[in-house]
A and B are shown apart, each in its own frame.
Chain A
Amino acid sequence: DAGVTQSPTHLIKTRGQQVTLRCSPKSGHDTVSWYQQALGQGPQFIFQYYEEEERQRGNFPDRFSGHQFPNYSSELNVNALLLGDSALYLCASSLVAGIGAGDTQYFGPGTRLTVL
């Protein structure tokens, strides 16, 4: 049973560039959430995708956008990169099934983004 996968593992970009991160959910899951984790902090919710639509969004600027494909995989795009965007970007998958099981999110290994 494949878990959540993310690519790439590491990425180095310069200010002003654009980046795309990819995520494949755990087998059987249909919902993907993205989080940003700065060093020494807990993950911060960016947004969640279900049925190819953004279901909920956290307090992140429009530079952060996403997409979900029919096979449930997802992309996170960040435009006009800032130094402060350097972080571990985590993808989590879940199954929208109501209270309990539907809330449980399983994380992928993350993508470490460094902005120079």
Chain B
Amino acid sequence: QKEVEQNSGPLSVPEGAIASLNCTYSDRGSQSFFWYRQYSGKSPELIMSIYSNGDKEDGRFTAQLNKASQYVSLLIRDSQPSDSATYLCAVTRSNTGKLIFGQGTTLQVKP
């Protein structure tokens, strides 16, 4: 079992739709959760961090965390073609320094 699992996709949504990206993790000691966006040939860019159960909203992005189910998700509202990228989920035990990444989900937003 992988420590952090994501569906590799591609996930294809029409422009203006809601994109839903999911991630599960195996370590119940994980305390910090991150979503990074990575355009092809570029480095990961931090989108959201979440530490407590529930929802956290930032603009068009909403991160959701459920520690009991070991599940974290990212919703992108009003998806734009510029959102087309690979989205990486990362988890860590607090202050261990080691981010554990999933393999990423490729999102395609079609005009």
CB of A105 within 8 Å of the partner chain:
yes
CB of A18 within 8 Å of the partner chain:
no
Interface locus among B14-22, B45-53, B66-74, B77-85: B45-53
- Is B95's CB under 8 angstroms from A96's CB? yes
B2 to chain A, nearest CB (A): 10
Bound state CA distance, A87 and B33, in angstroms? 25
A98-B95, A99-B31, A99-B51 as given contacts; A42 in contact with B45, CB under 8 Å: no
Determine the chain A residues whose CB is within 8 A of the CB of B102 once the complex forms.
42
Closest to B6 in A: A42
Bound state CA distance, A32 and B95, in angstroms? 13
A99-B32, A103-B92 as given contacts; A48 in contact with B98, CB under 8 Å: yes
A11 to chain B, nearest CB (A): 15
For A40, A98, A107, A110, which residue has the most chain B Cβ atoms within 10 angstroms? A107
Chain B contact residues (Cβ within 8 angstroms of A): what range? 20 to 34
- Is B97's CB under 8 angstroms from A31's CB? yes
- Is B51's CB under 8 angstroms from A33's CB? no
A99-B31, A99-B51, A104-B34 as given contacts; A56 in contact with B43, CB under 8 Å: no
Name the interface residues of A20-69: CB closer than 8 Å to any CB of B: 31, 33, 35, 40-45, 48, 50, 55-56, 58
CB of B101 within 8 Å of the partner chain:
yes
A40-B103, A43-B101, A55-B97 as given contacts; A104 in contact with B49, CB under 8 Å: yes
A106 to chain B, nearest CB (A): 6
Chain A contact residues (Cβ within 8 angstroms of B): what range? 20 to 34
Bound state CA distance, A103 and B90, in angstroms? 11
Closest to A41 in B: B103
CB of A102 within 8 Å of the partner chain:
yes
A26 to chain B, nearest CB (A): 11
Residues in chain B within 8 A of chain A (CB atoms): 4, 31-32, 34, 36, 42-46, 49, 51, 88, 90, 92, 94-104
User: Can you give 11 contacting A-B residue pairs, CB < 8 Å?
Assistant: A40-B103, A42-B4, A42-B90, A42-B101, A50-B97, A56-B98, A58-B98, A94-B97, A103-B34, A104-B49, A110-B42
Lowest 9 A-B CB distances belong to which pairs?
Answer: A42-B101, A48-B97, A103-B32, A99-B94, A107-B43, A110-B43, A45-B98, A56-B97, A42-B103
